[in-house]
Structure 1
C-alpha cells in the first residue's frame, strides 16, 4: 500500500466525510463509503475507502446493523493486509496502517459473535503491542488507537472464548506492567484485569502469580509510602483488585505487611468518612483472604489495631443502619457488607482462634460494641420486614447472614429483640433455602455458607438457613423462641432441610458441610421432641417421615466409624421420636423401625468393653469421638428405658438381640469403681424398666440381682424382688 496514493480519491473523501446542514445522514455516508470500497480497483483506493469507513466509525454511533454491513464489506482480509503492511520498517506508514486496522477491529468487536471469531482473537498480540507503546511518550493522535485497543480487550474479556487467551501470562504481564508504570490507559488496563479476575480469578492467579504479586507489591509500596491524596486512590485500586480475587485463603506475601501499614495509617488518623470507607473495605478484604490474624500486624502482636478495626466496624454499622436517611444507608451498602464481614471474621476468631489475652476492660468494651452493632442490625431488619420490597434487597441477605453468625455464639444478649425478629428470620431463611436448593438442583451452584463475601449477595447465593441452624440449637432450648419457630412453619422447613442435606450427604458430601448440618438439625429436633411433645404430636406427619428417614440413614452410617457422631445423633433422635410417637405407630413401617432399633442397640452395645485388670472403658474405636457422643449415649439409654414401658415389642427385642446379656455380663466382670456414676444411673434405670416387663424373670436368671447389689441399684433390686414374690 502506498501512502502517496491517498490524495487521488479526494472527491470520494469529501462526499463521504461527516457533514452538517443538509448533507448526507450517517447511513447514507456509510452507503457511499462502502460503494467506494466495492469500486476500489487498487490498494490505494482500498486504503482510501477504509480511511473513510474508519472516520465514520469514529464520528458516529453506528448501530449493529451498520457495523454488520461494514464487516461484510471489509471482512478480516483487508485488516490482515493492513497489519501485514504495518509490519514493514517505515514507522510512519506502519503506525497509520495499524491505527486503521485497530479502529476497524474496534467496530467489529461490538458484536459478541465477531469478538469471539478466531480471526479477532488472534489479533490479541497486536492489541497488546499497541497498548504497550504507551510506555513511551504518547502523541495525541496515538491515544485514540490505544483507546480502541483497550476497548477491544474489554469487550473480549466479557466473552468466554477470547477470555481464555487474555488469561495468558503474556497478556496479564502487559496489563500489570501498564498499571505498575501508571502509563497512559492504565485505568483501562485495570478494567480489563478486573474483568478477567471476576470471571476466572483463580485461574488468572494460578497462571500469573509472579505478575500479580509484582503488581500488588508495587501498589502496596506506594500505598504505604504516599502521604497525600494518591494514598487513597491506591487504596481504592487495591480494594478493586482484591475484591475480584476468589474467596479462598491467600498465601503470605511480601506486600501484605505493606497494606497493613497503609491501612493502619489511615484508620488510626483523623480522616474524613470518604477517606475512611475505602480503607475499611480494604482491611475487610485482607482479613477475608489472610484471616483475622492479619489485623494483628506483621509481628502478630498488635491487638490495639485489631480492636480499633472491630470498633470502627461496629460504629459504622450503627451509624448506617440507625440512620433515618434511607438514601444515606443505601450509599453505605458496600461499606456495611465489609463491616459485616469483619464482624463475622472477628466472631470466628474469638471463638475458634488462639486466645488474644484481652484484659477485662477490653473484653467489656468489645462485647458492648458488638452488642450495639447487632442491635442496629436487628433494628434495621425489624424495619425491613414491613417493606414489600425486602425480598429484592441484597442488604437483607447480608444483615441476616452476619446476625446468624452472631446468634450462633451469643445466647444471652438482646433476647427480646431476637425473639421478636425470629418470625421474620424464619421467613427470610425459608426464601433463601428454597432458592438455594432450586439453583443447585438446576445449576449445581457451589455452596457459600461458610465464607463471607465482599459483595451484596442474592438469596440464591447464600444458604441462610444453614447459617441459622447453630442459633436454633440455642433458641429451641427455650420455650418462647421454640413456640415461635413452631408457629411460623419452622418444623416443616427443618424437615425439608434435613431431607436436602441427607441427599447431599449420600451423593457425596465433599466439604463435610451437610454432615455438620445434619448433626445440628438432630440437636434442634431433639430440643423440640424432648421439650414439646405436643408440637411433635401436632406435626406427626413431618416427624413420622423424619423417623423413617432416620431409620434408613442409620443403616447407611452405622457401619462407618468416621460417621459415629452422626450415627449417635440419628439413633438418639430416632428413639426419642419413637417414644413420643408410640401411640401413632405406623404398622406399615414397623419392620424398618425394628431394624432401626436393632442397629441402635448394636451401636450402644459396642460403646464399652472390659479392659485389662477388668477396667470398664470406652471401646478403642469410639475413643476419638467419645467427648462428642458421651452425652448422647447417656440420653439414648435413658430414652430407651422409657421406650420399654410404652412399646410392647421392645423388651423381648432387647433380650433377643443379646443387648441385656451384654450389659449384665459386662457389669459382672468389671471392677465397680471403674464405672462412672452417670453410667451406673442410666444402666440402673434401663434394667429397672426391663424388670417391670414380661422379660423381668429372664433378667433375674442372668444374675441381675447380683448386679443390683454390686452397684447399689436399689430400685432395680426392689423391682426384681417384687417380681419373685
Structure 2
C-alpha cells in the first residue's frame, strides 16, 4: 500500500502543472509538430493525446485504486471534463463505471480516507468524473448516477468539507433511505457517509461555511442540470432534497449559486413539479421570493428587465397560500416596481417580459393589488396593442417563440379584464370578488377597456381564420382559441358576423381534439406549465378545447343565424359525443359518481336549445337517439347522487323535452325508455316537501342549496312531462304506477300554497295532460277534488284542472 501511495503522490505532483510527465513525450511532441491543436476529440496536442492513450490503457488494466486514481487525475488535468469526447467517456465508463466516482464522494465526505489524497482532491475528482459521464444521455439516467444526487446537493449547500453539521436536508425518509442503500450497495461505503452528506448547517453558521472552488461547483451543477433535462429528471432531483439544499446555497451565496443554483431552482419550479415543490417547501420558496422581489425593486433598469422572466418562475402556483399576507406584500411590492416600468417608453422586446410577469401576478390576486384605475386601463391597453401588432401580420408570417410567449401573457391579461369589465354593472355584495381598483373605473374608462378588448379579439379571430388543420396541435393556437372562448362566453353580440364566419374553425378544432387528432403531448405539456387553469387536469384528455367553447355554444345555439351554421357542422353530435365521454369518465372514478362537472351541464343547455328550436332535427338526427340511450343509462344513477343534482335536473329536462317530440309507439315502450321515465318521475317528486301541511309547501332540504340553479329546469320538466303524456299515452299509466300522481294530489290537497305561481302553473299543466289523455287519471283527480276537506288548498285553486275533470 505504501508503494501504491507513492505512485499516487508522484503522479499527482506530475499533473499539478497540467504537463505530461517525462521529457521524452514532450520532446516528441515538439519535434513532431504536436503543438498544433488539430485533434477533433477535444483540441489536444499530439503529445497530450499520446499521454491520454497511455492513461486510458493504465486505467483499463489498473490493479488497484491508486493506479486508477493516478490515471484519472492525469486524464482530468489533460482534458477538462466537459471537453471529453464520447469515445473517451465510453472507455472511462467501461474501466471504472459509476461505482468509483460515487465511492470517491462517500470516502471524502465520511473522512474514512486511506488513499493518501486530500478529501478535497477526492471530491474534485469524483464530481469531475460524474460531470463528464453526465454528458452522455445514456449514462445520466443510470440509477448509480442518480444515487449521487444527495451527495452533490450536500456539497453545494454546505461546502466541500463541511458535510458533518447538524440538521439534515429535508427530503422524504423513504427516498433518503433508498438513496443511502443504493449508494452503499454500489460502493461498499457506509450509510454514515451518505447521511452526513445530506446534513446542513444552521443559519447562524452561514458566514463560516467554506466556499466551493468554481470547478467543483460547476461539475455539481452540470450533473444536476443534466438530470433535470430528463423526462422525469425534475422529479428525481426534487425528491432528493433539492429545494432546501439549493435554497441554502443561495442564502449563503455559495459559488455559482446565483448563476447556476437559481437557474436550477427555476427549472424545478416550472412545469409539472411547481405544485409539488411549493407544497413541500413553502417557507423556503417564499423567503427566496421575498429576497428576489427586494432585489428586483432595487435593480437598475436593464437588470430589472432581465429579472422579470426570473420572477415569473419563482411565483407560487395559483391557489397556494392565497391568504398569505407575506405573499400579498411581495406581489404588492412587485406591482409597485412594475408601474413606472409599464409607463416608460419600451420596445416590443422590453415590454414582453413585463406583460408576462403582470399576467402571472393577475393570476395570483386578480386586480386587487394592481393599482389605480388609470394604470389598470394602461395595462389592458398595452396588452391589447401587443396582440394587435403581433397577430395582424400577413398570413404565412411565423410568430417567433418569444412573441408567442408574450402574446400568451397578454391573453391572460385580457381574460382577467373581461371578467371584471363584464361584472361592472352587477351590484356588489360583501362577498363580491371585484377589487377596489376596477370597481372605481369611470363609465368612460370601462367603455375604453371594452373597446380595446373588442379590437384585440377581432385580431384573434383574424389569426385563427388563417390556421390550417396541420397546426391544430400547436400550443399557441390552443392559447389563442382559449382566450377567444373566454370573450365569447361573455360577449357574442359584438362582431357577430366575424364570430359566425369563424364557427367552422371553432367546431373543427374542438372535434379534432375530441377525436385525438392533434399533437396531444405538446398540449398536455402546455397545460401543465400554465400557471392558471380553470380546471386542473391530471393529463390532457382532448375534451379541453370543447370545454372552453361550450359557454359560447350555449349562447350561439339560441340565435337563429349561428344555430343554422352549427347544425350544418353537426354540432349536436359533437355535444352528444362529449357527454358520452364525460359520463364514461365520471362513472369510472372508483365506482363513485360524486364530482360535479359544470361543462356537462353547459353541454346539456346547448342541446336543450337545439331541442326546443329544431324539433324536426331532433326527430331525424340519429345522435339524439344515442342521447336518449345515454340519458336512460345515467339518470337512474344520478337520482341517488345528491351532489350531482344539477346534472340530474339537466338530464331529466333534456330527456323529457326529447320525449315530447317522439310519436306514439304502436307497441309497448322499450326498456330504456321506461327506465328513464320511471327515474324522471322519482326525481321530480323529490323537489317539494309537504311535511309542513296544512301550511305552504317548501322546497326539499336536499334541493334547497341548488334551487336557484334547478327551479327553472324542474318547471320545464313538468311542462315537458305533460307533452310526453300527450305524445305517448302509455306514460300516463306509468305515472300512476310510480305513485307520482297519488303523491302529488295528496300534497296539493293538504298544503295551502306552492312556493310561487310559476310552480303551480307547471304542476297544473302536467295534471291537465294526464286528465285529458287518461280516463283513470281523470277519475282519480276528480275524486280527490270532490272530496277535499278545504277549498283553500293549492289544488282547489287550479281552475284549468277543474275544467279538465269537470269539477265546479
* Aligned counterpart, 1:533: 615
Residues 1:372 and 2:446 are matched in the alignment: no
Larger deviation, residues 371-380 vs 609-618? 609-618
* Aligned counterpart, 1:607: 687
* Aligned counterpart, 1:163: 237
TM-score normalized by the length of structure 2? 0.76
C-alpha distance in 2, partners of 1:424/1:618? 44
* Aligned counterpart, 2:678: 598
Residues 1:361 and 2:444 are matched in the alignment: yes
Mapping 1:118-197, distance limit 5 Å: 120-121=148-149, 123-124=151-152, 125-126=154-155, 128=157, 142-159=213-230, 160=233, 162-164=236-238, 166-168=240-242, 170-177=244-251, 181=253, 184=256, 186-197=258-269
C-alpha distance in 2, partners of 1:240/1:505? 34
Q: Secondary structure at the match of 1:581?
A: coil
C-alpha distance in 1, partners of 2:258/2:794? 88
TM-aligned CA deviation for residue 127 of structure 1: 5.0
**Aligned residues of 2:745 and 2:781 also touching (Cα < 8 A):** no
TM-aligned CA deviation for residue 94 of structure 1: 5.7
TM-aligned CA deviation for residue 19 of structure 1: 5.6
- Seen in structure 2, the aligned counterparts of structure 1 residues 83 and 305 have a Cα distance that, compared at 3 Å, is same
Larger deviation, residues 222-231 vs 350-359? 350-359
* Aligned counterpart, 2:365: 291
Cα offsets for 1:28-63 (capped at 9, x unmatched)? 664322123456689876555323311454288544
* Aligned counterpart, 1:259: 334
C-alpha distance in 1, partners of 2:75/2:381? 60
Cα offsets for 1:530-572 (capped at 9, x unmatched)? 1111221231x32122112212211112123332222221111
C-alpha distance in 2, partners of 1:436/1:586? 43
- Seen in structure 2, the aligned counterparts of structure 1 residues 511 and 517 have a Cα distance that, compared at 3 Å, is farther
**Aligned residues of 1:173 and 1:211 also touching (Cα < 8 A):** yes
C-alpha distance in 2, partners of 1:119/1:687? 75
Larger deviation, residues 26-35 vs 316-325? 26-35
C-alpha distance in 2, partners of 1:119/1:330? 36
Residues 1:224 and 2:297 are matched in the alignment: yes
C-alpha distance in 2, partners of 1:675/1:241? 54
**Aligned residues of 1:609 and 1:619 also touching (Cα < 8 A):** yes
C-alpha distance in 1, partners of 2:105/2:774? 101
Cα offsets for 1:335-386 (capped at 9, x unmatched)? 11111122223334554723624332122112112212211111111122xx
**Aligned residues of 1:447 and 1:463 also touching (Cα < 8 A):** no
Mapping 1:409-448, distance limit 5 Å: 409-435=490-516
Cα offsets for 1:598-641 (capped at 9, x unmatched)? 22223223333443553243333322222212111221121111
* Aligned counterpart, 2:408: 337
Mapping 1:167-566, distance limit 5 Å: 167-168=241-242, 170-177=244-251, 181=253, 184=256, 186-198=258-270, 200-242=273-315, 246=317, 248-251=319-322, 252=324, 253=327, 254-288=329-363, 290-297=364-371, 302-324=372-394, 326-327=397-398, 331-349=402-420, 351=423, 353-354=433-434, 356-384=439-467, 387=468, 389-435=470-516, 451-452=532-533, 463-508=544-589, 515-539=597-621, 541-566=622-647
- Seen in structure 2, the aligned counterparts of structure 1 residues 399 and 113 have a Cα distance that, compared at 3 Å, is closer
Cα offsets for 1:46-98 (capped at 9, x unmatched)? 55532331145428854444312112324443774588579789x99665554
Q: Secondary structure at the match of 1:595?
A: helix
**Aligned residues of 1:168 and 1:207 also touching (Cα < 8 A):** no
Residues 1:626 and 2:722 are matched in the alignment: no
Cα offsets for 1:493-529 (capped at 9, x unmatched)? 2111101111222233999775312211221111111
C-alpha distance in 1, partners of 2:64/2:766? 104
Q: Secondary structure at the match of 2:698?
A: strand
TM-aligned CA deviation for residue 231 of structure 1: 1.5
CA RMSD of aligned residues (A): 4.3
**Aligned residues of 2:101 and 2:125 also touching (Cα < 8 A):** no
Residues 1:67 and 2:94 are matched in the alignment: no
- Seen in structure 2, the aligned counterparts of structure 1 residues 330 and 228 have a Cα distance that, compared at 3 Å, is closer
C-alpha distance in 1, partners of 2:277/2:262? 14
TM-aligned CA deviation for residue 391 of structure 1: 2.0
Residues 1:679 and 2:759 are matched in the alignment: yes
Cα offsets for 1:132-189 (capped at 9, x unmatched)? 99999999x95344322321221233354851465345422234336xx496462222
Q: Secondary structure at the match of 2:488?
A: helix
TM-aligned CA deviation for residue 418 of structure 1: 1.1
C-alpha distance in 2, partners of 1:438/1:612? 61
- Seen in structure 2, the aligned counterparts of structure 1 residues 185 and 579 have a Cα distance that, compared at 3 Å, is same
Cα offsets for 1:416-439 (capped at 9, x unmatched)? 111111111011111222339997
C-alpha distance in 2, partners of 1:273/1:608? 61
**Aligned residues of 2:108 and 2:119 also touching (Cα < 8 A):** yes
**Aligned residues of 2:160 and 2:210 also touching (Cα < 8 A):** no
* Aligned counterpart, 2:426: none
C-alpha distance in 2, partners of 1:553/1:431? 26
C-alpha distance in 1, partners of 2:529/2:305? 31
- Seen in structure 2, the aligned counterparts of structure 1 residues 720 and 27 have a Cα distance that, compared at 3 Å, is farther
TM-aligned CA deviation for residue 236 of structure 1: 2.5
C-alpha distance in 1, partners of 2:246/2:745? 73
- Seen in structure 2, the aligned counterparts of structure 1 residues 382 and 512 have a Cα distance that, compared at 3 Å, is farther
Q: Secondary structure at the match of 2:705?
A: helix
- Seen in structure 2, the aligned counterparts of structure 1 residues 448 and 418 have a Cα distance that, compared at 3 Å, is farther
* Aligned counterpart, 1:107: 132
C-alpha distance in 2, partners of 1:373/1:585? 58
The equivalent position to 1:580 in structure 2, one of 661, 667, 689, is: 661
TM-aligned CA deviation for residue 684 of structure 1: 3.5
- Seen in structure 2, the aligned counterparts of structure 1 residues 529 and 48 have a Cα distance that, compared at 3 Å, is same
Cα offsets for 1:399-450 (capped at 9, x unmatched)? 111111221121321111111111110111112223399979xx99999999
**Aligned residues of 2:715 and 2:759 also touching (Cα < 8 A):** yes
**Aligned residues of 1:390 and 1:396 also touching (Cα < 8 A):** yes
**Aligned residues of 1:654 and 1:660 also touching (Cα < 8 A):** yes
Larger deviation, residues 47-56 vs 130-139? 130-139
C-alpha distance in 2, partners of 1:609/1:60? 78
Specify every segment of 5 or more residues in structure 2 that has no aligned partner in the other structure, as ranges: 15-19, 40-44, 163-205, 424-431
- Seen in structure 2, the aligned counterparts of structure 1 residues 415 and 81 have a Cα distance that, compared at 3 Å, is closer
* Aligned counterpart, 2:21: 10
**Aligned residues of 2:246 and 2:257 also touching (Cα < 8 A):** no
C-alpha distance in 2, partners of 1:594/1:41? 85
C-alpha distance in 1, partners of 2:648/2:264? 51
Larger deviation, residues 144-153 vs 608-617? 608-617
C-alpha distance in 1, partners of 2:780/2:499? 51
- Seen in structure 2, the aligned counterparts of structure 1 residues 710 and 720 have a Cα distance that, compared at 3 Å, is same
- Seen in structure 2, the aligned counterparts of structure 1 residues 195 and 166 have a Cα distance that, compared at 3 Å, is farther
- Seen in structure 2, the aligned counterparts of structure 1 residues 29 and 407 have a Cα distance that, compared at 3 Å, is farther
* Aligned counterpart, 2:56: 34
